[in-house]
Amino acid sequence: MKITFYGHASLGIEVAGKHIIVDPYITANELAKHIDINTLKADYILITHAHGDHILDVEAIAKNTGATIVSNAEIAGFYAGKGFTAHGMNHGGSWNFDFGKVKYVNAIHSSSFPDGSYGGNQGGFVIEADKNIYIAGDTALTYDMKLIPLRTKLDLAILPIGNNYTMDAEDAVIASDFVECNNVLGYHYDTFGYIKIDHEATKKLFADKGKNLTLLEIGSSIEL
């Protein structure tokens, strides 16, 4: 499994010969201006919730690639109504796709489309494939995270660390305990003034607890 960071909470995942884009917010992100969304491959687009900084480039990428949009029932229905291929899910449910199993799990946040219309309940994803990963989405620290390792042994936890709109790095350290995964990829940081972090201090915070925090340059990748 290869994971590429496209800035903010946007990810690319390559697994089992398939390409997945998560929460594409790229074209309006000054930090990601070197990323050309027209070159991105996508068989699936996973959306955690309806906020503009997570769905901005969904339609453009789906039009370019014909990708299937996977999200909660309300978001999937919204895009299906526009003619896109979509697969709706809800909390606790899972589905076996051709690249692996995806489960839609709880998150604590808000969710509405940029026009204020209802975007369903926000969530995260657990993906079980050649490696198992947890994509937390925008969330506070929640005790529900303790449920994840009851079913899935994780190889990587992808956690928001920017504070203000989500949990901060200290809560993310606790979250990694809850999901029983010491290998963490941080995201949802630096994009806006409110969520800028001190990279070295944040890495040290994790290291002091015996954990590995990876902060990728935008466009860079890791292999699991």
Dihedral of the alpha carbons of 183, 134, 100, 123, in degrees to the nearest 10: -170
According to the model, what pLDDT value does residue 45 have?
A: 99
Instruction: Tell me whether residue 177 is exposed, middle or buried, using C-beta atoms within 10 angstroms of its C-beta: 0 to 12, 13 to 18, 19 or more.
Output: middle
Look-up of token digits 């340059």:
217
Judge whether 218 and 5 are in contact, CB under 8 Å.
Answer: yes
Judge whether 131 and 1 are in contact, CB under 8 Å.
Answer: yes
- In the chain, where are the structural domains located? 2-215
According to the model, what pLDDT value does residue 119 have?
A: 97
According to the model, what pLDDT value does residue 215 have?
A: 98
Q: Could you read off the pLDDT of 182-199 as tens digits, one per residue?
A: 999 999 999 999 999 999
According to the model, what pLDDT value does residue 85 have?
A: 98
Mean pLDDT score across all residues of the chain: 98
CATH architecture of 2-215: 4-Layer Sandwich (3.60)
Instruction: Kindly give, in sequence order, each residue whose CB lies less than 8 Å from that of residue 202, ignoring residues fewer than 6 positions away.
Output: 161, 169, 186, 213, 215
pLDDT category at 22 given cuts 50, 70, 90 is very high
Q: Could you read off the pLDDT of 30-81 as tens digits, one per residue?
A: 999 999 999 999 999 999 999 999 999 999 999 999 999 999 999 999 999 9
Average pLDDT over residues 119-133: 98
Q: Could you read off the pLDDT of 98-107 as tens digits, one per residue?
A: 999 999 999 9
Average pLDDT over residues 131-156: 98
According to the model, what pLDDT value does residue 82 have?
A: 98
Dihedral of the alpha carbons of 141, 144, 150, 152, in degrees to the nearest 10: -60
Q: How many CB atoms lie within 10 A of CB 86?
A: 22
How far is it, in rounded angstroms, from Cα 149 to Cα 191? 30
Judge whether 189 and 196 are in contact, CB under 8 Å.
Answer: yes
Dihedral of the alpha carbons of 130, 19, 49, 177, in degrees to the nearest 10: 30
